[in-house]
Chains A and B, each alone.
Chain A
C-alpha cells in the first residue's frame, strides 16, 4: 500500500516537474501561448480541448501580466522557440504577435508560424483582418461576442423591458459600435434606449459614480453593459449601484456576471471560446487546413448566465423557461 501511494506521489510530482520544464523533443505538438492577463478560463478550455484531442501536446505559456510593453519580448522568444502554433489572448496580444494587416514587420511579427487568436471582439475593426471569411494570412481565431440579435432575443425572453439605459465609454470604439447596433435593433423591438456615455474625463471612480446616479434617477427597466474594458474593470461599482436601485442589468461579457454581480447576459463563456479556439488549432495541426482557409467566427452556442444572488437581491425572478436553460451562477444554495 505504501509503495502504491509513493508511486502515485512520484507520478504526480513528475507531472508538475514536467510542466515547468522547457518543451521536450518528445512532444508531438508544441503550442506557444501569448497571454495578456494570466491563464483564464479561455486558456483552460483551449488546453483541455487540445489535450483530449491530440497526443503529447505541450504548451509554452508566456504572460505579459497586463503590461503591453512586455509583449514584443514574448513574441521575439516565440520566434526563437519556433512552436508549431501560437495562441494569443485578446486584441493587444494578437496585434503584438501578428501586426495589423497594413503594418506587418517580419522582424517583429510571426509570419511562418500559424496563429489562433481568442477573445477578440472585432478582428476586422482592430485591423487584424480585412474580412471575417479569411484573414488572407497565417492566422485565424475566435470572437467571443454574441451577435446582438441573439443577445436582444435572450433579453426579451427574460422579461418585458421597454426602457433601457446603455452605459459605455465614448472613447472605446467597440462599445460605440455595439451601442449603434443595439439602437438599430431595439427600435423595431419596441425598446427605448437612453444613452449614458462616459467621456474620457469621467473615466474614473468618481465620474462613474456620478453617471450611475444619473442612471438611477432616469429609472430604466434594464441597463445594458457592452464589452467595454473600462466598465468590465469597474463593474463592481456599476453592479452595486444598480443593485441598490433594484435595477436589472444585462452584460455582453461573462466576467461581470460571474464575479461582480451584474444580473444576466447571453455570453460565450471564456471556457467554451477557448475550446473552440482549440478546435481551430486542431484543424490546423492535425487536419492540415491552412489558417487562411478557416473563417474567423463566433461560437454558435451561447450560455445564458444569471447571477442568482443579484436576482434575489433586486427581486427579479427569471421566468421558468429561462431558468431551465440558463447557467445560474452565485446561487445562494
Chain B
C-alpha cells in the first residue's frame, strides 16, 4: 500500500494526458508530412495562376493601345498582388530587352528566392516578362504556423480533458469512495450501521450493495436499526463546480480575440467621440456593470442558493451573448453586453461562494487557487477555440455558439449540483470600513500604484488593443486566438510555482515590483517593433508579470498593515481592495482608446508603458522608505 505515490485522480489524468498528447503528436506528424508533400506542387500551381492573372491584366491594358512603358499604377498593382499572396517576396515586370520597368516593394531577401517568369505576349510577339519570386522558406513557415495551431489545439484539448475528467472521476469514483470511507470510519469509531444509496449499478454500485448487505447483517446482529444515508455524490466538492465554471468562462472568452473588431464593424459616430473610444466602450461598460453587480449578485446568490444563482446567471449570460451576435448597432450591443456582464458577475460570485461553502478555512486558499486556475484555463481555451473557429464560421456565429455553451453550463449545474440551502448572510461592507481602509496609506499605495495599473494593462492592452493590433498586422483569427491564449497559459503554468516561491521567499514587495516592471516592459515592446512575434512576447511577458505580481498584491495588502487587517478584518480589506482594483478594468480600454486616438498605436504603448513604469517606481520608493523607517524603529 505504501508504494502508492500518486492519487487515483492523478493516475487517471496522467494516463489520459499521455494518451492524448501521444495521439495528437502522432496524428500531427503524419498530417504535417502529408501537408508538406502536397504544399509544394500546390504552391507552384498557384504561382502559375498568379502569373497568368497578372498577365491578363497587363495584356488587357496593352490591348487598348497603351504602350508597356506607359502603363500607370503597375507598382501599386504588383504590391497589392504581393500583399494578398504571402508566399511571394518580389514581383517585377521588364521589357523584352530585360530592362526593369515595374517592381513591387520586396518583402524579405530575394537573393535566394526562386522565380518563375511568364512572358508577356502581344499579337504573338514577346514584348516583356513578369518575374515572380517565391519565398524559399514559405513551406517551412506554413508548417511552423500549422504546428503552432496544432499545439494550441492540443493545449486546449488537454485543458478541457483535465476539467472534464476531474469531474467525471470526482462524480463516479472519488466522492463515492469518500462516502464509503466515511461510513466505514463511523462504523469503526461508533459502530454506526448506515445504508448507503447505490445510485449506479456499476462496480462501485455493486460493492456498495454488498457492503449494505454486510451492514444489514451486522445491524440485525446488534439489534439496531439501519439508517439510510445518501452518498455525497450530488452535493459534491469543489471539483463539481470546476467544469461548469470552466464552460461558462470559456464561452464568454470565445469572443476575446476579436471582440474589438466586432465592435468596430458596428461603428457609427456617436456624439463626436473618436472611433477608437467608441470601440472601447463595450469592454469598459462590461467591466463597470460586472463590478457594480457583484455585491448584489453575491447577496442574491446567498439568498437563493448556489445552484439556482448559477443557473440563472448562466442563462442570463447566454441570452446576452446570443443577442450580442445579432447586434445591429453599438447602442444595442452595449445593452446586450451589460446583460452578459450581469449574468457573468452572478456566476462569478456564486462560484466563489460555492467554494467557500465547500471548503474549510484551512483549505480555502487552495479552493480559491482552483477558482483562479479554472478561470484562466477557461479564458485561454475559449480565446483559442473562438479565434480558430471565427476564421471559419464568422464572428456572429461564435457569439451564438458561446451562448449555447453558457446554456450547457447552466444545464450541467441543474443536473449535477444538488439543491442547496441559502447560505448564511455574510457581513456586508460597511461605509465605516471604507472610511478606515481608504485612508490607509499602505493600502492606497498598493491599490493605486500596483493593482489598478495591472488591470489597466490587462483590459487596455490585452483585451482592447491586442485584437486590433493583430488585425492590423494581418493575422488570421486563429493566430489572434493563439496569441491571446498565451496570457492565460502562462498564468496557469506559473501561478502555483510563484505562489510556492512567494511563500518560501516571503519577499512580497520584490515580487510585486518585478511583476509590475515586467508588465511595463511588455507593453512597451510594441513601440520598438510592431510585429506578431513582438506582440506574442509582450503578451507572454504580461502574463509572466501578472502571474508574479497580481496574486502577491493580495497577500501584501493583508500583510503590509497588520493593524488595519486586525481592525476591520482581512475579508473586509480584501473585499474593498477587489472593488477598487476593478476601476482599472474600467479605465483600461478607454485610456488605451484615447491614447491611440491622440498618439497612434506605437507611441500610445510607449506612453502606457511609461505610466506603468512610473507607478512601479513610485511604489518601489514608497516600499523602500517604509522598510527603512521600519529598520529605524527597530
Interface residues of A (CB under 8 A from B): 159, 308, 311-312, 317-324, 328, 331-333
Report A-chain residues with C-beta under 8 Å of the C-beta of B66.
311-312, 317
Report B-chain residues with C-beta under 8 Å of the C-beta of A333.
63-65
Offer 22 A-B interface pairs, CB within 8 angstroms, sorted by A. A308-B65, A311-B64, A312-B66, A317-B71, A317-B72, A318-B72, A319-B72, A319-B76, A320-B58, A320-B72, A320-B74, A320-B77, A321-B76, A323-B57, A323-B60, A323-B61, A323-B64, A324-B57, A331-B63, A331-B64, A332-B64, A333-B63
Separation of A331 and B64 alpha carbons in the complex (Å): 6
Separation of A247 and B217 alpha carbons in the complex (Å): 112
Separation of A312 and B67 alpha carbons in the complex (Å): 10
Q: Which of A308, A312, A320 contacts B73 (CB 8 A)?
A: A320
Separation of A322 and B63 alpha carbons in the complex (Å): 15
Report A-chain residues with C-beta under 8 Å of the C-beta of B60.
323-324
Q: B70 near A: Cβ within 8 Å?
A: yes
Decide: A320 and B57 in contact? CB cutoff 8 A.
yes
CB nearest to A331 among chain B residues? B64
Question: How far does the Cβ of A213 sit from chain B's closest Cβ, in whole Å?
Answer: 29
Decide: A321 and B65 in contact? CB cutoff 8 A.
no
With A159-B72, A319-B73, A323-B60 given, can you name 17 additional A-B contacts, CB distance below 8 Å? A308-B64, A312-B64, A312-B65, A317-B66, A317-B70, A319-B72, A319-B76, A320-B58, A320-B72, A320-B77, A321-B73, A322-B73, A323-B64, A331-B63, A331-B64, A331-B65, A332-B65
Interface residues of B (CB under 8 A from A): 57-58, 60-61, 63-66, 70-74, 76-77, 80
Report B-chain residues with C-beta under 8 Å of the C-beta of A159.
72
Decide: A321 and B64 in contact? CB cutoff 8 A.
no
Question: How far does the Cβ of B63 sit from chain A's closest Cβ, in whole Å?
Answer: 6
Report B-chain residues with C-beta under 8 Å of the C-beta of A323.
57, 60-61, 64
Report A-chain residues with C-beta under 8 Å of the C-beta of B76.
319-321
Report B-chain residues with C-beta under 8 Å of the C-beta of A318.
72
Question: How far does the Cβ of A258 sit from chain B's closest Cβ, in whole Å?
Answer: 16
Question: How far does the Cβ of A111 sit from chain B's closest Cβ, in whole Å?
Answer: 38
Separation of A159 and B72 alpha carbons in the complex (Å): 9
Report B-chain residues with C-beta under 8 Å of the C-beta of A322.
73
Report A-chain residues with C-beta under 8 Å of the C-beta of B77.
319-321
Report A-chain residues with C-beta under 8 Å of the C-beta of B63.
331, 333
Question: How far does the Cβ of A2 sit from chain B's closest Cβ, in whole Å?
Answer: 44
CB nearest to A333 among chain B residues? B63
Separation of A323 and B57 alpha carbons in the complex (Å): 9
9 nearest interchain CB pairs?
A319-B73, A319-B72, A320-B77, A320-B73, A332-B65, A308-B64, A317-B72, A317-B70, A317-B66
CB nearest to B66 among chain A residues? A317
Separation of A318 and B57 alpha carbons in the complex (Å): 13
Report B-chain residues with C-beta under 8 Å of the C-beta of A328.
64
Question: How far does the Cβ of A321 sit from chain B's closest Cβ, in whole Å?
Answer: 5
CB nearest to A332 among chain B residues? B65
Separation of A319 and B70 alpha carbons in the complex (Å): 10
Separation of A323 and B59 alpha carbons in the complex (Å): 11
Separation of A320 and B73 alpha carbons in the complex (Å): 5
Most buried by A among B57, B64, B65, B70: B64
Question: How far does the Cβ of B50 sit from chain A's closest Cβ, in whole Å?
Answer: 15
Separation of A312 and B66 alpha carbons in the complex (Å): 7
Question: How far does the Cβ of B93 sit from chain A's closest Cβ, in whole Å?
Answer: 11
Question: How far does the Cβ of B76 sit from chain A's closest Cβ, in whole Å?
Answer: 7
Question: How far does the Cβ of B55 sit from chain A's closest Cβ, in whole Å?
Answer: 12
CB nearest to B73 among chain A residues? A319
Decide: A320 and B64 in contact? CB cutoff 8 A.
no
Separation of A282 and B541 alpha carbons in the complex (Å): 62
CB nearest to B54 among chain A residues? A320
Question: How far does the Cβ of B68 sit from chain A's closest Cβ, in whole Å?
Answer: 11
Separation of A204 and B64 alpha carbons in the complex (Å): 35
Separation of A333 and B66 alpha carbons in the complex (Å): 11
Report A-chain residues with C-beta under 8 Å of the C-beta of B70.
317
CB nearest to A328 among chain B residues? B64
CB nearest to A315 among chain B residues? B70
Separation of A312 and B70 alpha carbons in the complex (Å): 11
CB nearest to B72 among chain A residues? A319
CB nearest to A316 among chain B residues? B72
Report B-chain residues with C-beta under 8 Å of the C-beta of A331.
63-65
Question: How far does the Cβ of A324 sit from chain B's closest Cβ, in whole Å?
Answer: 6
Question: How far does the Cβ of A300 sit from chain B's closest Cβ, in whole Å?
Answer: 18
Separation of A323 and B58 alpha carbons in the complex (Å): 10
